[in-house]
Amino acid sequence: MGQFSGGCCASFGVLLLLASQVPTPFARGPRGEAQQHGHTVTLPRFLEEPVDAYIIKSNPIKLRCQAPALQIFFKCNGEWVHQSQHMSQEHTDLQTGLKIREVMINVSRQQVEDFHGPEDYWCLCVAWSHLGTSKSRKASVRIAYLRKNFEQDPQGTEVPLSGMIVLHCRPPEGVPVAEVEWLKNEEALVSEGVADRTGDHSLVVSEAQLSDSGNYTCVASNIVAKRRSATATVVVYVNGGWSSWTDWSPCNVRCGRGVQKRSRTCTNPTPLNGGAFCEGMSVQKSTCSTLCPVDGSWSEWGEWSACTPECERQRGRECTAPEPKHGGRLCDGVALATDNCTGGLCTQNKKLLHDAKPQGVEGSSDVALYSGLAAGVVTVVLLIIAVTLYRRSQSEYGVDVIDSSALTGGFQSFSFKTSRQANPLLINPSMQPDLTVSRTYTSPMCFQDSIDKELMAEHSLLDPLPDLQVKGTAERAEYRVPSHPQTFPRGLAPDYRAVGATLGRRGKTLFAPQASFTPSRQVQNATAVFGRAGGRLVVPNTGISLLVPHGGIAEDTTWEMYMIINQEDSSAVSDEESEIFLSPAVTYGPPGLDLSCPIAMTVAHCAEVAADNWTIRLKRQAQDNKWEEVMSVDEESTSCYCLLEANRCHLLLEHPGRYALFGAPMNPDAAKRLRLAVFGCPDPSSPLGFSLRVYCVDDTPNAFQEVAVGEHSRNGRLLEEPKTMLFRGTAFSLQVSIQDVPQLLWSIKPFTTCQEFSFSQVWASSRHPLQCAFLLERYSHSSSQLSCKISVRQVKGEEQILQVYTSVLENEKAVVPFFSQSDCTVTSQTGSRAFKIPLSIRQRISATFDTANAKGKDWQLLAQKLHIDRNLSYFACQESPSSVILSLWEAQHQDTGDLDSLASALEEISKVQSSRTAALSYSRDEQDSEFSDLG
C-alpha cells in the first residue's frame, strides 16, 4: 500500500480539503464544546477501534475503525496511509441522527516483513470533525507461527504406587504463545488429580495410582498449528508383599517323626508392572512328631491258684506289656485260664472218677489214640512221596519265577474260571474269539546302530559307562561314539568319565529268573556338537531331551555335548528311606560347559501327580556319589526351575551333572504308575511249549524300551496292548495270575498260576524290570491258538486285565512284527530346525516383553498367558526373562509345536490398534508438510 511522500505536502492537502468542508460560524464554549445550529457537539468518539491481529500464512488482515466523523484516516508506523488504500462507507444513526463513517484497510504479510523498527508493526485511526481530531488505540500486526520442535519433551518414568509423577513440557516457540494440553493414551486428560505447576506446563500427580500408568503426550497449539511432543511412558509399579502365613499343615506321617509346612504368597500386594518380588521363602518346613499307636500285649501268666473242691485251678495275666496307648489294639485272647488240677483223678461224691469207669475203657481209648497217630504219620509220608514224584515228572516244564507262598495256599481268594467238561469244543466259556486270527501289537522301536544290536544280543548285564565303553562278562566289546573335531574352548576335552557311573548290582528278588530270560541292557545316550545357533539333543524312545537356546553358546565357540541315562540302584538313593526314584537319572555335560543362559531338559517320570500326595525333589549327584537336593518342586527357587506335568518334567538348569527326580510319599494314597505288558514266544526247550512273560515296570519310556529291546533279542511278541495301573504306597504286594486257560487244550506248570511281587520290589523298581513267567504246553499239535487272561492287581488296590489271544505257531511270529525299524540316526538338530519359534519372531517377542510398558506387555504377563506363572522369581533373575520363558515353552511343546497357542496368547496380550497408529502417523506427516514454511 502506497503512503504519502513528503509529509508536509500531504498534511497541507488534507487540511485544505477539510477546511473547505468546515462551516465558518461556530463558537467554543468554556469546556471545549461547540454549538452548531443550536446542538451541542464534541470531538469524534470511536465506536470501533482497530484491534491486534495476526497474519496467518499469506492471508492479509483487515483493520477497521468506526466513528461519527467527517473523515477517518489510518496511520501506520507513524506514516499516513494513502487515501486510495482506504475502503470507507457511511450511514446515519437513527437514534442520534449523526453520520457514522466506517473505514477499513488491508495489511499484507509483505508489509509486515519489510518493516524494521523497534517495535511491532502498528496502525491507528485519526478521525476528523468540525471541532478537531481524535486518535484511536494502536493495533499491532504480527505474523503468526509455531515452531516444530518442543524446547523440552516429557520423559518417561517409573514410579511406585502413591509416588509423585512429574512430567515437564516446554512448548515450541510461537506467535501467539501456544496453549498446552495433555493427552493420556490419546485422550484428553481430565483435570482431577492433575496440577499445572507455576505455569510451566508441567504435569504433576501427587499420588500415583495404577490407573495413572499410560502414554502421556504434550500438545501445543495456537491459531497457526498444533504440535505433539514425544510420548512419555509412565509405569506405576507395585512391589510385592508377603501375605500372612497359613496354618501349619498336618504332620505328613501318621506315626513317628515327619514334616509339616506352612506357606505364604507374594500377593499382599502382588508385584505388578515390573515391581520387585518378595524376598525370602514362600514355604517353611518344620519337623513334627506324632505319637504312634501302641498295641497291647499280654504279660506273663501268673502262678496257678490252689486247687478248688471242683478240681479246678486258675491263673491270670494282664494286658500291660505294654498297655494299649494312642488308639492301639487291645490284647487278643483271655485274661483268665482254667485247668483241671488233678490230671483226671479228682473225686466225685468222694469216689475216684476213674473208678467209675468200666475196666476196659481206659485201655481201649489208649489203643485208639496210638492207632490214629500211626495212621496220620503214614498218610503224611505217602503224601510227601507222591508230591516229590509228581514234581520230578513235571520238571521238564521249567519255570522262571515262582512264589513260595503259592505252595502254602496263599491265593485261595482268587476265583479261577474253568472250562466246561461237558463240551470239549468250548475252550473258554467267558470268551468267544475267532480262532482263525492271531493278534500281536506294534510299537515304534529302534536301535542306534549295528554295534548296539550285537551288544544287546549278549545276555550279560551291560555297564553303560559315560565314556561309552561296554563290557560283557563273557567277552569284552568296546564301542565309542564317533567324536567331532576338538572344538572345546580353552582346551577342554569331553571328559565323560568325570560324571560317569556304572550300573548298580542286581539285587535278589523273590523270583529267580533263568539266565536266558535276563534282558540285556542298552546304553542309552546321545551326543552332538552345538554352536551359537543352539539346538536339541534327544535320546530316542526314552522321553529324554535337551534344548540349548540360541545364543547360549558364545560366538565362534562350539561344544560337544552329551546325555546319558544312568541305571541307578534304588537302595543307594539317600539317607531318607522313604524316597524313591521317580525318573531315570540323566547326566548331561561336559563338566566345563559354559553357557550364558539355562538349558531346558525334559525327563519322564512315573508319579501320579493329580493329587498332592508326593513331596517331589530334584537332586544332583555330588562328587562323593551322594545325592544332594537342588530344589523341591513345590517351592520357589532362583537356582533352577521345575515345570511338572502329568508324565514328564521340564527343567531349566545351568550346571552340568547328573540329575534325577525323587519322591517321598506324604500319605498311603501316593501312587506311581506302572506299565504292564505281556510278551510271548514258543518255548525252545519243548516243541509244544509256549512261554508267557509278564512285565511290570515304571511307566516311563526308557523303562519300557529296555523291556522291548530284551524281548526283541529273543523274538518275543507283544500279545496285548500295554496298560497302565496305579500302584499305591499302602505296603501291599502285587499279584500276577493267569486265568481262563483252556484246560482241555493246554496245561500249565503247577504252582505257577499265581505269583507275587513284594511291595518293596515294586515300589523301588527302578533298577530292573520286574518279570514273571508262565510256561504252558499244548496237548496236541492241532491246538494252534492260545486264549487266556492275565490279572495284575495290588492287594486291596487296583486291578488290570491283559487279554491274550494269539497264534503259537513258530511261522506266525513274522506276520505282524512287534518292532518296526525307525530312523534312530537323527538324535540331534541344530540351528533353526531345532526350534518351533522362528528366531526373528523370538527376538521380537523378547524385545517387546523384557521391558515393562504402559500396555502391560511385560514378561510376567507372557508367563501367565503361557501358563508358566509359578516361581516367577527365577525368571526375574535372568538377563532376558522372556527368552528363558520361550525356551521352556519350546521344551514343553517339542512334540506338538503348537504355534497357534503361542499366537493366541500374544493376541490376548497385544491390544494395540495398528490402524489408529497408522492414521495418527499420517496426520502428523500431513501437518508437518502443511506448515513447513512457517518454521
Reduced 3-state DSSP string for 28-64:
ECCCCCEEECCEEECCCCCCECCCCEEECCCCCEEEE
**Answer CATH for 671-807 from 3.65.10.10, 2.30.110.10, 2.60.40.2660, 1.10.1740.10:** 2.60.40.2660
**DSSP single-letter state for residue 424:** T
Task: Tell me the per-residue pLDDT of 403-455, one tens digit each, with 9 for 90 and over.
Answer: 333 333 333 333 333 333 333 333 333 344 443 444 445 444 454 443 343 33
Per-residue CA distances from 904 to 314, 712, 769, 898, 912 (Å): 86, 45, 43, 10, 15
Highest mean pLDDT among 23-37, 167-181, 464-478: 167-181
484 band by pLDDT with thresholds 50, 70 and 90: very low
Highest mean pLDDT among 377-381, 574-578, 751-755, 837-841: 837-841
Do the first three CATH levels of 145-237 and 671-807 match, i.e. the same topology? yes
Range from 15-29, 320-334, 602-616 carrying the lowest mean pLDDT: 15-29
More confidently predicted of 765 and 478: 765
Radius of gyration of the chain (CA): 51
More confidently predicted of 307 and 409: 307
Locate 333 and state its grid cell. Answer: 485272647
Residues in a beta bridge with 530 = 559
In this predicted structure, what is the pLDDT of residue 478? Answer: 33
Task: Tell me the per-residue pLDDT of 567-600, one tens digit each, with 9 for 90 and over.
Answer: 655 444 544 567 899 999 999 999 989 899 999 9
What's the rounded mean pLDDT across residues 668-694? 91
Task: Tell me the per-residue pLDDT of 770-827, one tens digit each, with 9 for 90 and over.
Answer: 899 999 999 888 888 899 999 999 998 899 999 999 988 755 443 333 333 344 556 8
Q: Is the peptide bond before 590 cis (omega within 30 degrees of 0)?
A: yes
What's the rounded mean pLDDT across residues 320-328? 85
Q: Estimate to the nearest angstrom the gap between the alpha carbon of 33 and the chain centroid.
A: 99
Residues in a beta bridge with 124 = 75
**DSSP single-letter state for residue 599:** E
In this predicted structure, what is the pLDDT of residue 99? Answer: 86
Per CATH, which fold does 145-237 belong to?
Answer: Immunoglobulin-like (2.60.40)
pLDDT over 50 at 757, yes or no? yes
End-to-end CA distance of the chain: 27
What's the rounded mean pLDDT across residues 316-338? 87
More confidently predicted of 640 and 481: 640
| Residue % of the chain over a pLDDT of 90 | 32
Per-residue CA distances from 486 to 67, 315, 492 (Å): 104, 88, 9
Task: Tell me the per-residue pLDDT of 34-52, one tens digit each, with 9 for 90 and over.
Answer: 333 334 456 888 999 999 9
pTM for this prediction: 0.52
918 band by pLDDT with thresholds 50, 70 and 90: very low
pLDDT over 50 at 371, yes or no? yes
Task: Tell me the per-residue pLDDT of 131-162, one tens digit each, with 9 for 90 and over.
Answer: 888 999 999 999 999 998 998 999 999 999 98
628 band by pLDDT with thresholds 50, 70 and 90: very high
In this predicted structure, what is the pLDDT of residue 885? Answer: 93
Cβ atoms of 324 and 298 closer than 8 Å: no
The torsion defined by the Cα of 595, 598, 604 and 609, in degrees rounded to 10, comes to 160
**Maximum separation of any 2 CA atoms in the chain, in Å:** 195
In three-state secondary structure terms, 185 is: coil
Task: Tell me the per-residue pLDDT of 361-370, one tens digit each, with 9 for 90 and over.
Answer: 444 555 666 7
In the block, which residue shows the cell 530346525? 833
Summary mean pLDDT of the chain: 75
In this predicted structure, what is the pLDDT of residue 819? Answer: 38
**Answer CATH for 53-143 from 1.10.357.10, 3.40.50.300, 3.90.650.10, 2.60.40.10:** 2.60.40.10
What's the rounded mean pLDDT across residues 617-635? 90
Cβ atoms of 224 and 934 closer than 8 Å: yes
Task: Tell me the per-residue pLDDT of 499-516, one tens digit each, with 9 for 90 and over.
Answer: 333 333 333 333 333 333
* Nearest CA among 744, 736, 790 for reference residue 762: 736
334 band by pLDDT with thresholds 50, 70 and 90: confident
Cβ atoms of 563 and 586 closer than 8 Å: yes
Cβ atoms of 798 and 725 closer than 8 Å: yes
Which are the contacts of 347, defined by CB distance < 8 A and separation ≥ 6?
Answer: 311, 353
Q: Is the peptide bond before 322 cis (omega within 30 degrees of 0)?
A: yes
Cβ atoms of 505 and 395 closer than 8 Å: no
| 735/253 Cα distance (integer angstroms) | 27
In this predicted structure, what is the pLDDT of residue 70? Answer: 87
For the chain, which residues make up each domain, given as ranges?
Answer: 53-143, 145-237, 671-807, 836-910
In this predicted structure, what is the pLDDT of residue 141? Answer: 93
Task: Tell me the per-residue pLDDT of 205-245, one tens digit each, with 9 for 90 and over.
Answer: 888 988 889 999 999 999 889 999 999 999 999 999 999 99
Range from 14-28, 661-675, 870-884, 904-918 carrying the lowest mean pLDDT: 14-28
**Answer CATH for 836-910 from 3.90.850.10, 3.40.50.720, 1.10.533.10, 1.10.10.10:** 1.10.533.10
| 318/164 Cα distance (integer angstroms) | 81
In this predicted structure, what is the pLDDT of residue 369? Answer: 67
In this predicted structure, what is the pLDDT of residue 392? Answer: 58
| 862/905 Cα distance (integer angstroms) | 8
Range from 339-343, 492-496, 869-873 carrying the lowest mean pLDDT: 492-496
In this predicted structure, what is the pLDDT of residue 743? Answer: 87
pLDDT over 50 at 481, yes or no? no
SS3 for 829-893 is EEHHHHCCCCHHHHHHHHHHHCCCCCCCCCHHHHHHHCCCCCCHHHHHCCCCHHHHHHHHHHHHC
